[in-house]
C-alpha cells in the first residue's frame, strides 16, 4: 500500500503540482491540502511547497504561518510526523518556529534563479537516507529571501547537534562556507542550504528537489531526497504512525 503524503496549497503556491508529481514518481499517494482547512486527511507526512504564499506580503512566510492548516502541521510534527518545507515552505517553517533560524533577503538583494550545487552533511536523516553516499547534488534555486541566518548561540547549536542537512557547495563537493563565495547563491551563514529541527523530523530546504526529479529537467538529483521522505514516512506508518518525540536528537 502506498503512503499518503500531503502537499499544502497556499494562495501563491506554485510548486505544489511539482511536489505531488515527485511524490507520485516514488510511489507515494500525494494529497492536496488546502491552507484554510485544518484537516490533514490522515497523511503520514506533509510538504510545504515553494512559491509566494500570500504574495510574500509583509515577509516571506509570515502570513502563511497563521493558516489553519499550520496548526495541524505543527501538531503532526509534535507527534513525530515528517514535515518538509521547500523554499517558501522553508520560510513558512522558520516563521512558525518549527525549524531554527530565519530566511532573509539575499546578500545580493536580488532574486536568484539558477542551478546550484549542494552536498548532504549527513545520510541518516529521514530526508537523506536514500542518497546512499555524500556526493554533490545539482538542483535549482528560485528565491529573493533565501539567506539563512541565526544568532551565534543558535548557529552553534545547529552545528553541534548535527542539524545541518545540506550546504551549498562547489562542483567538486567542497562546501561554500563563506557568505561571499559565488557558489553560495544567497549569502547563507556557514553555507547552510537545509536544516532540521531538534527531533530531526522537520526539515527546511531552500533548493528545489521536486524540480530535479527527471533527466529531462536537467538533473534528477532531487529524486533521492523525495525518495528519502517517502521511504521514511512509509516506515513510520508501518510502525504504527507518528509518535511524540520529546527532547530527541537527530
- Strand pairing class (112-120; 137-143): antiparallel
**Catalytic-role residue among 87, 95, 145, 147:** 87
Whether 190 sits among the annotated catalytic residues: the reply is no
**Catalytic-role residue among 145, 190, 210, 234:** 210
Whether 113 sits among the annotated catalytic residues: the reply is no
Q: How far is CA 46 from CA 5, 9, 214, in A?
A: 6, 11, 22
Q: Which three cell numbers stand for residue 208?
A: 528545489
Longest alpha-carbon distance in the chain? 47
DSSP annotation string for 106-141? -TTSS-EEEEEEEEES-S-STTTTTS-S---EEEEE
Whether 210 sits among the annotated catalytic residues: the reply is yes
Task: Please give the Cα distance from 37 to 122 (Å, whole number).
Answer: 35
Q: Which residues are catalytic?
A: 87, 208, 210
Amino acid at each position: 500500500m502506498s503512503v499518503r503524503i500531503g502537499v499544502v496549497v497556499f494562495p501563491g503556491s506554485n510548486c505544489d503540482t511539482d511536489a505531488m508529481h515527485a511524490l507520485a514518481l516514488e510511489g507515494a499517494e500525494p494529497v492536496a491540502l488546502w491552507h484554510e482547512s485544518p484537516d490533514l486527511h490522515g497523511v503520514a507526512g506533509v510538504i510545504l511547497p515553494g512559491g509566494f504564499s500570500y504574495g510574500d506580503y509583509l515577509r516571506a512566510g509570515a502570513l502563511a504561518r497563521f493558516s489553519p492548516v499550520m496548526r495541524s502541521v505543527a501538531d503532526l510534527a509534535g507527534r513525530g510526523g515528517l514535515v518538509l518545507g521547500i523554499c517558501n515552505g522553508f520560510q513558512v517553517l522558520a516563521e512558525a518556529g518549527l525549524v531554527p533560524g530565519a530566511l532573509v533577503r539575499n546578500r545580493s538583494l536580488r532574486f536568484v534563479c539558477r542551478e546550484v550545487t549542494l552536498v548532504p552533511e549527513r545520510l541518516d536523516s529521514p530526508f537523506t537516507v536514500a542518497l546512499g553516499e555524500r556526493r554533490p547534488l545539482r538542483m535549482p534555486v528560485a528565491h529573493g529571501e533565501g539567506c539563512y541566518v541565526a544568532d551565534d548561540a543558535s548557529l552553534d547549536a545547529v552545528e553541534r547537534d548535527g542539524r545541518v542537512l545540506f550546504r551549498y557547495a562547489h562542483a567538486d563537493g567542497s562546501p561554500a562556507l563563506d557568505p561571499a563565495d559565488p557558489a553560495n547563491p544567497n549569502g547563507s551563514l556557514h553555507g547552510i542550504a537545509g536544516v532540521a529541527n531538534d527531533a530531526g523530523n522537520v526539515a527546511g530546504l531552500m533548493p528545489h528537489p521536486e524540480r530535479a526529479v527527471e533527466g529531462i529537467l536537467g538533473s534528477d538529483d532531487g529524486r533521492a531526497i523525495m525518495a528519502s521522505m517517502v521511504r521514511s514516512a512509509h516506515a513510520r506508518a508501518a510502525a504504527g504512525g507518528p509518535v511524540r518525540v520529546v527532547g530527541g536528537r537527530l
